[in-house]
Amino acid sequence: MGDKYLIVGGVAGGATAATRLRRLDESAEIVVFERGEYISYANCGLPYHVGGVIPARSALLLHTPESLKARYNIDVRVKQEVVSIDRENKTVRVRRADGSEYDESYGKLLLATGSSPMRPGIPGIDSDRVLTLWTVPDADRLRGWIREKGAKSAVVVGGGFIGLEAAENLKRAGLSVSVVEMDRQVMPPLDFEMAQLLHEEMEKQGIALRLEKGVTAFEDADDGIIVRLGGETLKADMAVLAIGVKPNSQIAAAAGLTLNARGGIVVNARLQTDDPDIYAAGDVIEVRNIVDGSRAMIPLAGPANKQGRIAADNMAGGDSAYAGSLGTSVLKLFDLTAASAGLSEKALVKSGKVRGEHFDSVTIVQNDHAGYYPGAVPMTIKLLFGKPDGRVLGAQIVGRNGVDKRIDVLATVIRLGGTVKTLTELELAYAPPYSSAKDPVNMAGFVAENALRGRAVFSRWDAIETTPEAVVLDVREDVEREAWRLPRSKDIPLGQLRNRLGELNPELPVIVLCAAGVRAYNAARILMQNGFKGVSIYPGGAMHYRSTHYLDEIDAIEHGRIADSGDVEEAEPVLSLRVDCRGMQCPGPLMRVFEELEKLKDGDVVEVSASDPGFQRDIEAWTRRTGNGLLSVRREGPDTVALLRKGNREAAVQAPEGERGKTIIVFSGDLDRVLASLIIANGAAAMGRKVTMFFTFWGLNALRKPEGARVKKGLIDRMFGAMMPKGVGRMKLSKMHMLGMGTSMMKHVMRKKNVFSVGEMLQKARAAGVRLVACTMSMDVMGIQREELLDGIEYAGVGSYLGDAEEADLNLFV
Ligand code: FAD
C-alpha cells in the first residue's frame, strides 16, 4: 500500500483504472495524464451529439479533473502529454501545453492511451474540410461546420461503425450524405449478405453509398471539397474520415516494449507488458480472441473498461486475469440495429476453416415477439457453429427491435463455450410483448440442430445464381407471388406439394424457398422423405433474398421493369374499411388484404396497417399486378399504412415488353413438332419467361403415360386410344417416318449428339415451371381421361389459354 500509480490516458480504460485503484488503495498516490482537454467523457455518444439527439454537450462529460479530485482524490493533469518512459529509473517525461517538460516517477505505470483515427497520406487530406470524429473537440468542429458554416452535404469516408453512426447523424442534422467504402460491404464484422441489409437500409434512407471505392485525393474548391474516387468525383461541404484506427503505442515502442505487427502492445493475461511494472489496457493492446485463441485488436469500450478494472486490480497487488474478447458490438443505423459477436464466416474461412467440414451456418428470419401482439417485426439471425461439436462460434443479427437482447444472449453462450444444443435448452423470459414461447435464439438453435443432424440443408444466400442447374421451388401462395416473384422458379404452394411431386425431378438439386423459411423447411422434409436428393432450403426465404438482392430490384425500377413507389396517386378518399394487419408476418397481411377486397365493390377505399417491414414493397407490386389502386403509403412509427382503392384485374399492369409470357398451342402429335415446341418452351423458361403449353387434340398424346392406365371406356374410345401413341416415346416423325426407320434414326442421332430426348425435355419443362395444360374439351372428344395423362399437369379450357395469351407477346400454334 501507499504505492505511486501513474496512468497515461484519462478516458475509458484510464479513468476506470484510476477510480478502481482508489477504491483498492486509499493511501496510494494516483496521477492521471491526459493530453486532451477532457477526461472520462462518453466518446461513444459523440455522433449523437453531432446529430442533435444528445443536445447538451455537458451530458457527455462524465467527470472533470476537479470532480475526480474531490470524489477520489485523484490528481488529474489535463493538456499534459507523456512523451517518453524511462524504465530503468521508473519515470515518465511529461510535456505541458506550453512546451515545458518534467519527469514524474512511478511505482506502477498503466498505458491506457487508446487509439487514433488513421490519416493516410492521401493528397489533400490536411484540408480544413477533412474532419474526424474521435474527441469532444472533433464533435465541436463538426457541429460548427453544420451550425455556423451552414454545411449542407458531407462525404463520410469509411463504412465501419463510426462512419455509419456519423452518416446517420449527419443525415439527421439535415445534410445530404454519401458514404464511401473501399471494401464491398460496410460493417466489417458482418458477412456480406448480412451487410446487404444495411446497404438496403442506407439506400432507403437516402444515403448515397459508394462501395469498392477508395479515395485517391481530396481537393479544396471555393465552396467545398472534391473527393476523388479514381475516375468518379464527389463534391460536398466537408468530408468525415473514419477509415479505422491505429493504437497510440509510440511511447511503448520507444521504451522497448513488445508490440505486434499492427502496433498493439503485447500483454499477458494480467495485462502486464514485458516490463512487470508497466501495464496496458484498452484500444492500445492486443487481445486474445476468446473463440479461437487468435491474437486480435478489438477497439471497443466494453473491453477497455473491463481491462482498466483488471489492470488496476493487478497493479494494486491482486491477481485478476483478462480472458479475452469476443468483439460483441451493436450499431444503430436508422431503423435498423446490427449486432455481432464472435467469428464471422469470413473470419473462419480466412483462418483456414472450411464451411460444411469445420463449421456451418444457418440464417433465420423471426419476429422479435409474438406475431399476434402488435408491433412484431422480423429480425435476421445468422448463427455460425462448429462441426461436428455444434459449438457456437459467432452470431450476427440485423433487425428493427430486440436485436440487442438476442446478441447478448448469444454472446454469453459463446463466452461460456455453449453449443447449438445449449441454445435449444435456454429458458428465456417470455410474454407476448417481449418474445415468443420459442425465442428467436431458441429457434436459431433448433434450426442449427436440424442442420447438424442432416435433417435440413441450407443453401448459401447466392445459391440461386451460383447453381443454375438447381430447380428453385417456390412454395408460397399465388397471392404472395403477385407481390414479388423470383427471377426463376417452379411454383407449387406447400399445400399442393404432396400431390404434385411428379412435376419435379428427384435427381435434380432443389432449392426450396418460402417467405421466411418455415414452409420451405416443411417442403424440404416432404421432398427428402420422398427420395429427392440434393434438397436445400433458401435461408431466410424471400425476405432475405430480396434484401440480399436489393440492387436487382433497384435496377429493375430504374429500367422500368418495376414502377417506382413514387408513382402513387394523391387523394383524400372516403374510407370503406380499415384493415389492421399489424403483428402479422408475411404473407399474412397480403392474404388478409386479398380476402377483404374480395368482399368489397370496385372503387371502395381501404386503409391497411401492417408492421411487416416488407409490406410496403409487397403492396406496391401486388396492387400493380392485380389492378387495384395504391393511393398512398406512409410510415407511422414502425408501421406501414397503405390506402388502397379496389380495382379490377383488367386494370392490372401488363408485364413490361420483353418480360411477357409465351404460349404454345401443341396441336400436332408428331414427334418433330412436339420436340420443336418443347425446345422453344424450355428456352423461354430459361430466360425467365412465363410459358404455357396448351395441349389439344393430337398434341394430347405427348402427355399420355407410356404405361397407360386402367380406366373404364366405351368401345369407340378404347379403339381410338389404342390407335394413338402413348406418350412422346411412341410418337412418329411428321415426315420420313419410313415404317419407323426414320424415327429411330432421328432418336439415335439425338442421343449421339447429346440432345435431350423429348421425354427429358418434357420433364425439364415441368421442372422449369412451364405450365403444361391439357385441353379438357379435346380430351372429352378424344375419350382421354385424366388417369391416362402424366401427373402434375393442369386441366383447363380455352379461357385459361386465352388469359395467358393476352399477357404473352408470343403465341405459337404447332
Ligand atoms: P480512449 O478512451 O480513447 O482514451 C485514451 C486517451 O488517452 C485519449 O483521451 C488520449 O488523448 C489519451 N492519450 C493518448 N496518448 C497519450 C499520451 N501520450 N499522454 C497523455 N494522454 C494520452 N465502443 C463501443 O464499444 N461502442 C460504441 O458505441 C462506441 N462508439 C464510439 C464512438 C466514437 C465516436 C468513438 C471515437 C469511439 C467509440 N467506441 C465505441 C470506441 C471506444 O470509445 C473505445 O474503444 C474506448 O474509448 C477505448 O478506451 P481507451 O481507454 O483504450 O482509449
pLDDT at position 653 = 52
Spell out the CATH class of 661-813. alpha beta
Cβ burial 249-278 (10 Å sphere, 16+ → b, else e): bebbeebebebeeebbbebeebbbbebeeb
φ and ψ of 666, to 5 deg: -95, 100
pLDDT of 732: 83
Sorting pLDDT into bands at 50, 70 and 90, what band is 624? confident
Please give the distance, rounded to the nearest whole angstrom, from the Cα atom of residue 20 to the centre of ligand 1: 18
Query: How would residue 55 be classed by pLDDT, with cut points 50, 70 and 90?
Result: very high
The residue whose CA is least distant from atom 31 of ligand 1 is 44
Q: Which of 605-614, 679-688, 758-767 has the lowest mean pLDDT?
A: 679-688
278-280 and 245-247: which strand pairing? unpaired
DSSP letter string, 504-569? S-TTS-EEEE-SSSHHHHHHHHHHHTTT-SSEEE-TTHHHHHHHHTHHHHHHHHHTTSS--GGGPP
134 C-beta closer than 6 A to ligand 1: yes
Q: Determine if ligand 1 sits within 6 Å of the CB of residue 325.
A: no
CB 524 within 8 A of CB 536: yes
Going by alpha carbons, the residue nearest to atom 22 of ligand 1 is 9
**Is any ligand 1 atom within 6 A of the Cβ of residue 540?**
no
Report pLDDT for 542. 92
Domain boundaries, the chain: 4-116+246-315, 130-243, 335-452, 463-548, 575-651, 661-813
pTM of the complete model beyond 0.85: no
Q: State the pLDDT at residue 50.
A: 96
Q: What are the grid coordinates assigned to 257, written together?
A: 516494449
Atom of ligand 1 nearest to the CA of 300: 45
On the question of a common fold for 4-116+246-315 and 575-651, the answer reads no
Contacts (Cβ under 8 Å, ≥6 apart) of 740:
732
Alpha helix (H) ranges present in 175-223? 192-204
Question: Considering the chain, what percentage of its residues have pLDDT values greater than 70?
Answer: 93
Atom from ligand 1 closest to the CA of residue 46: 34
Query: pLDDT-derived band of residue 764, with 50, 70 and 90 as boundaries?
Result: confident
- Residue to mutate (ligand 1; options 300, 305, 332; most atoms within 8 A of CB): 300
What superfamily would CATH give domain 4-116+246-315?
A: FAD/NAD(P)-binding domain (3.50.50.60)
pLDDT at residue 450 tops 50: yes
DSSP character for 297?
A: -
Predicted confidence at residue 655, as pLDDT, reads 53
pLDDT score for 64: 93
Is 498 exposed, middle or buried, given 0-12, 13-18 or 19+ CB atoms closer than 10 A?
exposed
Buried b (16+ CB within 10 A) or exposed e, 350-360: eeebeeeeebb
Q: What is the side-by-side strand order in the sheet with 510-513? A: 490-491, 471-474, 510-513, 535-537
Pocket test for ligand 1, best of 20, 35, 249, 407 (most atoms within 8 A of CB): 35
Give the mean model confidence (pLDDT) for residues 162-185.
Answer: 97
Residues 289, 519: Cα–Cα separation, whole Å: 38
- Taking the chain, what is the end-to-end CA distance rounded to the nearest angstrom? 100
pLDDT at res. 621: 75
Residue among 46, 113, 249 whose CB has most ligand 1 atoms within 8 A, to mutate: 113
Does the C-beta of 527 come closer than 6 Å to ligand 1?
A: no
**Rounded to an integer, what distance in angstroms lies between the CA atom of residue 584 and that of residue 378?**
10
Nearest-5° Cα angle at 72, 267 to 99: 70
Helix (H) or strand (E) holding 4: strand 4-8
Question: Which residue blocks in 184-298 are alpha helix, DSSP H?
Answer: 192-204, 250-254
Q: Judge contact between 244 and 253, C-beta under 8 A.
A: no
Fold of 463-548: Oxidized Rhodanese; domain 1 (3.40.250)
CATH match for 575-651 among 1.10.1740.10, 3.10.129.10, 3.30.110.40, 3.90.870.30: 3.30.110.40
Q: Decide: 326 in ligand 1 pocket, CB within 6 A.
A: no
What is the model's pLDDT at position 560? Answer: 54
- Are 423 and 392 in contact by the 8 Å Cβ rule? The answer is yes
Q: Whose CA is closest to 206, among 177, 163, 172, 169?
A: 177
Q: Which residues are catalytic?
A: 44
Cis check for the bond before 613: say yes or no (omega within 30 of 0). Answer: no
Q: What is the pLDDT of residues 102-137, one digit of tens each?
A: 999 999 999 999 999 999 999 999 999 999 999 999
pLDDT for res 760: 78
Q: Which of 251-265, 536-550, 735-749 has the highest mean pLDDT?
A: 251-265
**What per-residue confidence (pLDDT) applies to 807?**
72
pLDDT for res 220: 96
Average pLDDT over the chain, rounded to an integer: 90
pLDDT at 521: 95
Query: Which spans in 94-149 are helix H?
Result: 136-147
Q: What is the CATH number of domain 335-452?
A: 3.50.50.60
Indicate if the pLDDT at residue 269 is higher than 70: yes
pLDDT digits (tens, 9 = 90+) for 627-669: 888 888 887 777 888 888 888 666 555 555 556 788 999 999 8
Give dist(CA 629, CA 626) in Å, integer.
Answer: 9
- How confident is the model at residue 571, as a pLDDT? 41
Does residue 114 line the site of ligand 1, with CB under 6 A?
yes
pLDDT at 570: 41
Q: What share of the chain is helix, strand, coil (3-state, %, to 5)?
A: 35, 25, 40
**How would CATH label the architecture of 130-243?**
3-Layer(bba) Sandwich (3.50)
H or E stretch covering 751: helix 741-752
**What angle is formed at CA 162 by the lines to CA 156 and CA 163, rounded to 5 degrees?**
15
Quote the ligand 1 centre to 180 CA distance (angstroms): 24
Q: Quick check: CB of 34 below 6 Å from ligand 1?
A: yes
**pLDDT band at 304; cut points 50, 70, 90:** very high
Q: Which amino acid is residue 263, in one-letter code?
A: G
Using a 10 angstrom Cβ sphere, with 0-12 exposed, 13-18 middle and 19 or more buried, the burial of residue 727 is buried
Q: Is 36 in the pocket of ligand 1 (CB under 6 A)?
A: yes
Inter-axis angle of helices 403-415 and 440-452, nearest 10 = 50
Q: Which helix (H) or strand (E) holds 702?
A: none
Ligand 1 atom 7 nearest Cα: 9
**Of the candidates 156, 109, 138, the residue with the CA atom closest to the CA atom of residue 284:** 109
What are the backbone angles phi and psi of residue 18, rounded to the nearest 5°? -65, -45
